[in-house]
Amino acid sequence: MEQAEQDIKRDIVFAASLINWLLLVSRQGKVRLTKWFITIPPKEKAKIVKDATQLVLARRVKMCNFLEYKDQKIVYRRYASLFFVAGINQDDNELITLEIIHRYVEILDRYFGNVCELDLIFNFQKAYFILDELLIAGELQETSKKSVLRVITQADQFEDQEGNEPKAG
């Protein structure tokens, strides 16, 4: 059983999409998190954020979660009041991108205990930290939710120890 699980994880890693950028957007169009995995000039970033937000928010619930945008594809999924929006290359796999988004949401849920928009607003550093543990350069780095959560928990414990030590001087 364990070997089969490792084979599946390896297959997922090899088949993973390369995510160019990731946005978390509220239903009201407020950007809650942005992560860029490719180098883009600031004006173009602003245009992508504006266009992607407008395109995704204008779509109805029953519509497909993939859409064409310039030379990329936009893959999105709504969880409660947040849209998780990713930009990928034309030849990348949309379904794997959806799975990566879902994996990120599952980890956020476990860490925050049923994550909501306010958790991400007030703890955005943790949201970025979790994303950085999951993705590197737009590729899935760690498939194990437990491993990501263990690293985050260890970092929290280390921060607590640092905060409790008496200050020298």
- Angle (CA) 67-115-74 rounded to 5° is 10
DSSP string, 57-73: HTS-TTS-SEEEETTEE
Q: How far is CA 49 from the centre of its chain?
A: 15
The model's pTM is 0.83
Give every CB contact of residue 40 below 8 A, 6+ residues apart in sequence: 21, 48
pLDDT one-digit tens code per residue, 43-92: 999 999 999 999 999 999 889 999 999 999 999 999 989 999 999 999 99
- Domain ranges for the chain, please list them: 1-157
CATH 2.60.40.4070 fits 1-157, yes or no: no
